[in-house]
Structure 1
Amino acid sequence: MKLPIATTKILEVKSEALHNLQILHLSDLHINKKTTLCEIKQLINICKNIAYDFIALTGDIIDCKVKEIKPQLELLNSLEKVYYISGNHDLFYGIEPLKQSLNNFTFLDNTTTFFTYKNRQIAIAGLSDRFSKFFKIKREEKKITNFLKANPISILLAHQPKDYTFAINSNTKLFLCGHTHGGQIFPFHYFVKLVQPFLAGTFYKQQTCIYVNRGLGTWGIDFRYKANNEITLLKLVYK
């Protein structure tokens, strides 16, 4: 895992209550047996030197069995105020052991909660990944949609960009996801665009701001081309 320099993105949101909220967005770490403790420590140091209100981790944290990377995951627990959801790789390698290891994080699959920002209650919800059905896990889409509709100041986390429709249909102000790796290796960008509505970066649909993170790790081949990885601080601006 080659770590990039953290960058800041300004996102326009349709909610004054979210103005100046700062979210550190991480995705697709793909921690595996080759991921060193030194690399995890470097990631933690980068995160701890950033002023954020919370961390959103949008899936694919692991890329091997949890028992093979226990020390790396235990180190991650030193990060604070982390909300995360599953990715397809997390489900494949074992979401329950992962939840047990990340005991300092808030797991949001098919779950809702609130956090306080400037004395306002901000709703945040998460959907389990679209591959959940193959692991006999029901995606509680109606529950999440109803919660978001009932709370107009809201943020939705999901792994795949395809789930943006749940955000716009419930008037959610911010939708965060990953999964695509930004294509990882050009020209695979074009293939990703055939199966996902967004490749990487910021998009606006109706009342919803969408951000697709290119992720930190790699899958298949430990190489990227024209799809740099990212650690991104999202600063929300009301407009």
Structure 2
Amino acid sequence: MVIVFVVIVLAVLAVLVTANWYVWRRLFRDTTGGPGWVRRAGAALVAGGWLMAIGALVAERTGAPFWLQRVLAWPGFLWLALSIYLLLGLLLGEAVRPLLRRLLERREPAEERTREPRPETVPAGTTPGTPGTPEAPGTPEAPEAPGSEDPRPPVSAPSRRLFVSRIVGGAAAAAAVGTVGVGTYGVLNGPSVKRVTVPLARLPRAAHGYRIAVVSDVHLGPVLGRGFAQRVVDTINSTQPDLVAVVGDLVDGSVRDLRTAAAPLSGIKAPAYFVTGNHEYFSGAEQWVEEVRRLGLLPLENARTELPWFDLAGVNDIAGEDEGQGPDFARALGDRDPTRACVLLAHQPVQIHDAVEYGVDLQLSGHTHGGQLWPGNLIASAANPTLAGLERYGDTQLYVSRGAGAWGPPTRVGAPSDITVIQLASRQA
């Protein structure tokens, strides 16, 4: 087992080193005429960016001083996102390179053909345009007039390669910076509101139109702080929900470091319920359960509450199993009245199979971030039954939110953040 782990680690390191060498080569070595400060600066940028990124990840996981986490998080996590799109842009550029080179090669002969011919050199003692005029012996030819030489010599192959490299490298860098910039602005600006209507067979007519605001993956931490939490709360309150469901990954850090950041949650106006996500177990889940309770949220730790028109249940995240606090569906759902509709809060979509077994009508989840950074959606889709949105599994429906915040890079590409308002519909209405 140890050998397998070592082999995997070495393989990952080899891929990272190769990818970063490729990025440096295409962006800095191939775009400069020779060794110099630009190449050295590029090597320092690439290596330093990854050192900051790894440092940010290690600092977060080891509970390093919060000031250090904040110093490392912004540049480190943003470089992580930027490096992904630099690599993708440069790889895409490989298809463009030969096309640009061919275009330049074809253009040069065409330009040569369209240039005016050079004027003939008329020997001394000869009248221009008069044929047969003898040339005096020993008379030197008249020199060419200044400026008569071709001002546009053919471009050499090395010059073409340098030109193409600069075009492709510059375009890839601009696209990567633009992509990350727009994606970061989207996160920092706060989540949008998404509205979804979900019919439940056992929901009574009196509950038709009941609104649940689903809030997932806020990830308060060294990057997203109190200001972001306030934007989330303001967005929740603007939807005027009947109930708020916070379905895990609220924080990335200890209560001591993030108490101030989480304080705006006390401003949620509707009744709010909370279940743990995997990141709570990296941050001290028991302390956070107590803290959210102090802020006015009601934790559902493998528990159920009977609301007037349906049951609302919640289970702990799977990550809690290592601490003896994993999900317990029997405790949360085992003795409920099966004639009543049931809504379950569970952080990870993979918990849907247990929800089906216990006859849940609707499970509300997060965790996937919708992939967060394209093409991360391909990996997230392979690891989860539903990436985002509403799907049915037997008689149970699963809704997965893309989440309100972001983990790692405060950036989203192809997976915009959201707070979803689920409007329950009764089939009797």
How is 1:101-140 mapped onto 2 (pairs within 5 angstroms)?
A: 101-102=291-292, 103=294, 104-116=296-308, 120=309, 122-140=310-328
Alpha carbons 2:191, 2:232 under 8 Å: kept:
no
Matched, 1:98 2:98: no
Decide which structure has greater strand share. 1
- Paired residue for 2:390? 202
Structure 2: distance between partners of 1:152 and 1:168? 15
Matched, 1:187 2:375: yes
Q: Structure 1 residue 39: deviation in Å? A: 2.1
RMSD, matched Cα:
1.7
How is 1:1-239 mapped onto 2 (pairs within 5 angstroms)?
A: 1-2=187-188, 3-17=190-204, 18-79=207-268, 80-102=270-292, 103=294, 104-116=296-308, 120=309, 122-148=310-336, 150=338, 152-239=340-427
Alpha carbons 1:148, 1:171 under 8 Å: kept:
no
3-state SS in 2 of match to 1:28:
coil
Structure 1: distance between partners of 2:320 and 2:227? 32
Structure 2: distance between partners of 1:164 and 1:148? 18
Q: Share of identical aligned residues, percent?
A: 26
4+ residue runs of structure 1 moved beyond 6 angstroms? none
Alpha carbons 1:149, 1:172 under 8 Å: kept:
no
Alpha carbons 2:318, 2:326 under 8 Å: kept:
no
Structure 1: distance between partners of 2:326 and 2:405? 27
3-state SS in 1 of match to 2:386:
coil
Alpha carbons 2:213, 2:245 under 8 Å: kept:
yes
3-state SS in 1 of match to 2:405:
coil
Structure-1-length-normalised TM-score = 0.91
Match of 1:132, as an amino acid?
G
Q: Structure 1 residue 68: deviation in Å? A: 0.9
Larger Rg: 2
Q: Structure 1 residue 149: deviation in Å? A: 6.0
Structure 2: distance between partners of 1:136 and 1:207? 30
Alpha carbons 2:317, 2:326 under 8 Å: kept:
no
Decide which structure has greater helix share. 2
Shifted more, 49-58 versus 135-144: the winner is 135-144
Alpha carbons 1:8, 1:233 under 8 Å: kept:
yes
Q: What are the Cα deviations for residues 171-219 of structure 1, in whole angstroms up to 9, with x where unaligned?
A: 2111100000001111111111222111000111222221001001112
Q: Structure 1 residue 152: deviation in Å? A: 3.1
Match of 2:327, as an amino acid?
R
Higher relative contact order (CA 8 A, sep 6+): 1
Structure 1: distance between partners of 2:212 and 2:191? 17
Structure-2-length-normalised TM-score = 0.52
Structure 2: distance between partners of 1:6 and 1:70? 26
Aligned length: 235
Shifted more, 190-199 versus 8-17: the winner is 8-17
Structure 1: distance between partners of 2:337 and 2:318? 21
3-state SS in 1 of match to 2:424:
strand
